[in-house]
Structure 1
Amino acid sequence: MTTCKAVLVSAPASGQGKTFITAALARAWRNQGLRVQAFKSGPDFLDPMILEVATGRPVYNLDFTMCGENDAEAQLYRAAQNADLIIVEGVMGLYDGTPSSADIAVRFNLPVLLTIDASGMAQTFGALANGLLSHYPTLIPAGVLANKTGSTGHGKLLQDALPKHLNWFGALQKNEALSLPERHLGLFRAGEISDLTQKIEDAANALAPDLPLPPIVSFKAPDTLAPPKRLDGKVIAIARDEAFCFIYQANLDCLTDMGASLVFFSPLHDQTLPKADAYWLPGGYPELHLNEISDNLSMKHALEAAFASNTPILAECGGMMALSSSLNDVTCFDLLPGVSKIESSLQGLGSLKVALEEGELGAHTFHYGSFTTALPPVITAKTRFGKVENIYQHGSILASFLHFYFASNPELAARLFTTR
Structure 2
Amino acid sequence: MVAAVTPRASCAAVLVAAPASGQGKTTVAAALARLHARQGHRVRAFKCGPDFLDPHWLALATGAPVHSMDLWMTGEADCRARLNEAAATCDLVIVEGVMGLFDGTPNAADLAERFGLAVIAVIDARAMAGTFGALAFGLQNFRPGLPWAGVLANRVASERHAGMLKDALRDPAQWLGGLPKSEAFALPERHLGLVGAGEIGDAMARLDAAADALAETPLGQRALDALPQFRFDDLPAPSAIAAQPWLAGRTIAVARDAAFSFIYPANLDQLTALGARVDFFSPLAGDALPVCDAVWLPGGYPELHADALSRCAPLRDALAEHVAAGRPLWAECGGMMSLFDTLVTADGAEHRMWGLLPGRVTMQKRLSGLGPQQLDIGPLALRGHTFHYSSCDTPQPAALRTVKPGAVQAVGAGEAVYVKGALRASYFHAWFPSSPEATARLFLPKPLERTDAF
Shorter chain as denominator, the TM-score bin is over 0.9
Q: Deviations over 1:31-71 (max 9, x none)?
A: 22211111111101111111111111111111222222222
Partner of 1:378: helix, strand, or coil? strand
Quote the Cα distance in structure 2 between the aligned partners of 1:404 and 1:3.
Answer: 32
Partner of 1:68: helix, strand, or coil? helix
Segment drifting more, 169-178 vs 279-288 = 169-178
Matched residue pairs, number? 420
1:374 aligns with 2:395: yes
Match of 1:400 in 2: 426
1:25 aligns with 2:32: yes
Give runs of aligned pairs for residues 77-226 of structure 1, distance below 5 A: 77-164=84-171, 166-209=173-216, 210=218, 211=220, 212=222, 213=224, 214-222=227-235, 224=239, 226=242
Give runs of aligned pairs for residues 28-39 of structure 1, distance below 5 A: 28-39=35-46
Q: Alpha-carbon deviation of 1:360?
A: 0.7
- Name which of 376, 381, 386 aligns with 1:360: 381
Quote the Cα distance in structure 2 between the aligned partners of 1:298 and 1:354.
Answer: 32
8 Å contact kept, 2:373–2:404 = yes
Q: Alpha-carbon deviation of 1:166?
A: 4.0
Partner of 2:45: helix, strand, or coil? strand
Match of 1:45 in 2: 52
1:323 aligns with 2:339: yes
Q: Deviations over 1:368-390 (max 9, x none)?
A: 11122222211112336865211
Q: Which amino acid aligns with 2:302?
A: P
Match of 2:372 in 1: 351
Q: Deviations over 1:115-166 (max 9, x none)?
A: 1112222243233212211221121111111111112232234334434474
5+ unaligned residues in a row in structure 2: which ranges? 1-7, 345-349, 447-454
Quote the Cα distance in structure 2 between the aligned partners of 1:358 and 1:383.
Answer: 16
Q: Deviations over 1:238-260 (max 9, x none)?
A: 00011000000110111112222
Q: Deviations over 1:212-261 (max 9, x none)?
A: 23211122344757222222222111000110000001101111122222
TM-score with structure 2 setting the length? 0.88
Quote the Cα distance in structure 1 between the aligned partners of 2:131 and 2:424.
Answer: 53
Quote the Cα distance in structure 2 between the aligned partners of 1:178 and 1:188.
Answer: 13
Q: Which amino acid aligns with 2:175?
A: W
Q: Alpha-carbon deviation of 1:356?
A: 2.0
8 Å contact kept, 1:71–1:408 = no
8 Å contact kept, 2:281–2:287 = no
- Name which of 249, 253, 256 aligns with 1:237: 253
8 Å contact kept, 1:341–1:370 = yes
- Name which of 301, 322, 328 aligns with 1:312: 328
Quote the Cα distance in structure 2 between the aligned partners of 1:341 and 1:164.
Answer: 51
Quote the Cα distance in structure 1 between the aligned partners of 2:173 and 2:118.
Answer: 12
Q: Which amino acid aligns with 2:445?
A: T
1:104–1:282 distance in 2 versus 1, CA, 3 Å:
same
Q: Which amino acid aligns with 1:219?
A: F
Q: Alpha-carbon deviation of 1:270?
A: 2.5
Match of 1:5 in 2: 12
TM-score with structure 1 setting the length? 0.95
Segment drifting more, 237-246 vs 296-305 = 296-305
8 Å contact kept, 2:251–2:278 = yes
Partner of 1:7: helix, strand, or coil? strand
Match of 1:342 in 2: 363
Partner of 1:355: helix, strand, or coil? strand
Quote the Cα distance in structure 2 between the aligned partners of 1:248 and 1:104.
Answer: 20
Partner of 1:45: helix, strand, or coil? coil
1:47–1:216 distance in 2 versus 1, CA, 3 Å:
same
Quote the Cα distance in structure 2 between the aligned partners of 1:18 and 1:271.
Answer: 37
1:205–1:314 distance in 2 versus 1, CA, 3 Å:
same
5+ unaligned residues in a row in structure 1: which ranges? none
8 Å contact kept, 2:402–2:428 = no
Match of 2:294 in 1: 278
Match of 1:297 in 2: 313
Segment drifting more, 255-264 vs 277-286 = 255-264
1:50–1:100 distance in 2 versus 1, CA, 3 Å:
same
Quote the Cα distance in structure 2 between the aligned partners of 1:165 and 1:251.
Answer: 44
Partner of 1:51: helix, strand, or coil? helix
Q: Alpha-carbon deviation of 1:271?
A: 4.2
Quote the Cα distance in structure 2 between the aligned partners of 1:382 and 1:184.
Answer: 25
Percent identity, please.
50
Partner of 1:284: helix, strand, or coil? coil
Match of 2:269 in 1: 253
Q: Alpha-carbon deviation of 1:167?
A: 3.7
Q: Which amino acid aligns with 1:333?
A: W
8 Å contact kept, 1:316–1:401 = yes
1:263 aligns with 2:279: yes
Match of 2:3 in 1: none
Quote the Cα distance in structure 2 between the aligned partners of 1:30 and 1:406.
Answer: 30
Quote the Cα distance in structure 2 between the aligned partners of 1:258 and 1:85.
Answer: 31
Partner of 2:244: helix, strand, or coil? coil
Match of 2:450 in 1: none
Quote the Cα distance in structure 2 between the aligned partners of 1:8 and 1:132.
Answer: 13
Match of 1:67 in 2: 74
Partner of 1:307: helix, strand, or coil? helix
Partner of 2:398: helix, strand, or coil? coil
